[in-house]
Amino acid sequence: MNAALPAFVEAASPHTMNTYGRLPIALSHGQGVWVWDTNGKKYLDGLGGIAVNTLGHNHPKLVPALQDQIAKIIHSSNYYHVPNQEKLAAKLVELSGLTNVFFCSTGLEANEAALKLARKFGHDKGIERPEIVVYEKAFHGRSIATLSATGNPKVQAGFGPLVEGFIRVPINHIDALEKATQGNPNVVAVFFEAIQGEGGVHPMHADYLRQVRALCDKRDWLLMIDEVQCGMGRTGKWFAHQWAGIKPDVMPLAKGLGSGVPIGAVVAGPKAAHIFQPGNHGTTFGGNPLAMRAGVETLRIMEEDGLLENAAQVGDLLRAALAHELLGLAGVKEIRGQGLMLGIELARPCGELVKRCADAGLLISVTADSVIRLVPPLILSAQEAQQIVAILVPIIKAFLAESP
């Protein structure tokens, strides 16, 4: 056992690389927001595969659609047209108010494409060493470029030299952004998550988003909003930045877009939609027929079943119930987030709560050491939200009662 890992983490299996601190649990199947492990133990899924399983598990509309698709064609190639690429792109354009989409398979790939767009945007207007503004506590992925954009030294450690051309600023501080970029002709873009996920569920304020939008317009920068985790209806709007009434120029998506089938997308507005020309970017799996069907069906089912409204309502209820039980207790710092993306920050590291909750039949995660994160499927009912509270609150209270 690696001494740096919490006690519950089992030694890696002999043939997979030792990249994850895993719980001693293997999930075998699920139904709705419930999952069962290989020993038959049942859990309430408060994590949704980290904001991925939008429709929960074994959804009665999604499963037959995917079965139909698998029997027809799983993968073709971008050498050919994939009709559902156009269909999903048209839908994302409608929902975002932007204009064009590039498809890939993961969040980091979507962000990588965004970073390439920003650099070429600069090169196209004669900026040879373009720089991109990124944020403290940001998480954008684990490729060399996206880990360089990430604001977490733990993610970067051991992988230097980092990619250059990033300027880092604190969130929600327009003066800091102005100061960090003052007189710098090489800035081409500002890039952030509307609600930071891995960094501890930190929302960008609506007025800050509007200020950054205005600054980007004034200086001719791209506004690039990573909605990989906070997007796809999780906050009760399709995209979290829409609460501020603004539009980005570039918006990477992934996680919840395919309800569990790997898929990523970069949605771009007029300022960025025509930067890539044939030969500039591409990927083998991106936009493949299975992933596109998953995206098309996920969005269709979300609309049919009113899941944005559900995320907003049940999220409010969950947040209110947690606030009622926890706020004011010594050791509880803050409850943050929106809709079904919530973080409860404690005053001390609480990673062990992941195991305690799992033992009690609830799946959660802890991010940024001391923030309990809930990102359940968007089908969560009010009653199931109450069940989360009923399991989670006593565990937190018992933990707070222990001396650190």
Ligand X SMILES: *Cc1c(COP(=O)(O)O)cnc(C)c1O
Does residue 108 belong to the site contacting ligand X (CB under 6 A)? yes
Does residue 193 belong to the site contacting ligand X (CB under 6 A)? yes
- In the list 53, 69, 85, 111, the residue contacting ligand X (rule: CB under 6 A) is 111
Minimum distance of ligand X from residue 147's CB (angstroms): 10
- In the list 30, 32, 107, 151, the residue contacting ligand X (rule: CB under 6 A) is 107
Q: Which is nearer to ligand X, 148 or 229 (CB)?
A: 229
Full 3-state SS string of the chain: CCCCCCCCCCCCCCCCCCCCCCCCCCEEEEEECEEEECCCCEEEECCHHHHCCCCCECCCCHHHHHHHHHHHCCCCCCCCCCHHHHHHHHHHHHHHCCCEEEEECCHHHHHHHHHHHHHHHHHHCCCCCCEEEEECCCCCCCCHHHHHHCCCHHHHCCCCCCCCCEEEECCCCHHHHHHHHCCCCCEEEEEEECEECCCCCEECCHHHHHHHHHHHHHHCCEEEEECCCCCCCCCCCCCHHHHHCCCCCEEEECHHHHCCCCCEEEEECCCCCCCCCCCCCCCCCCCCHHHHHHHHHHHHHHHHCCHHHHHHHHHHHHHHHHHHHHCCCCCEEEEEEECCEEEEEECCCCCCHHHHHHHCCEECEEECCCEEEECCCCCCCHHHHHHHHHHHHHHHHHHHHCCC
255 is catalytic: yes
Alpha-carbon span 363 to 373, nearest angstrom: 10
Does residue 226 belong to the site contacting ligand X (CB under 6 A)? yes
Catalytically annotated residue among 192, 226, 237, 239: 226
Q: Which is nearer to ligand X, 32 or 141 (CB)?
A: 141
Catalytically annotated residue among 102, 103, 121, 139: 139
Here's the x/- map for ligand X, 128-157, by CB under 6 A: it reads as -----------xxx----------------
Tell me how many residues contact ligand X (CB under 6 A): 15
- Which 238-267 residues touch ligand X, going by CB under 6 A? 254-255
Minimum distance of ligand X from residue 307's CB (angstroms): 19
Here's the x/- map for ligand X, 345-384, by CB under 6 A: it reads as ----------------------------------------
- In the list 30, 122, 151, 197, the residue contacting ligand X (rule: CB under 6 A) is 197
Q: Which residue is nearest to ligand X (CB)?
A: 107
Angle at 351 between CA 106 and CA 194, to 5 degrees: 40
Catalytically annotated residue among 255, 271, 276, 285: 255
And the tokens for 269? 């507005």
Q: Which is nearer to ligand X, 202 or 356 (CB)?
A: 202
Q: Which stretch binds ligand X (CB under 6 A): 38-46, 70-78, 106-114, 118-126?
A: 106-114
Q: Which stretch binds ligand X (CB under 6 A): 35-43, 102-110, 166-174, 180-188?
A: 102-110
Q: Which stretch binds ligand X (CB under 6 A): 12-20, 153-161, 191-199, 206-214?
A: 191-199
Q: Which is nearer to ligand X, 47 or 391 (CB)?
A: 47
List active site positions. Answer: 139, 226, 255
Interacting residues with ligand X (CB under 6 A)? 106-108, 111, 139-141, 193, 197-198, 226, 228-229, 254-255
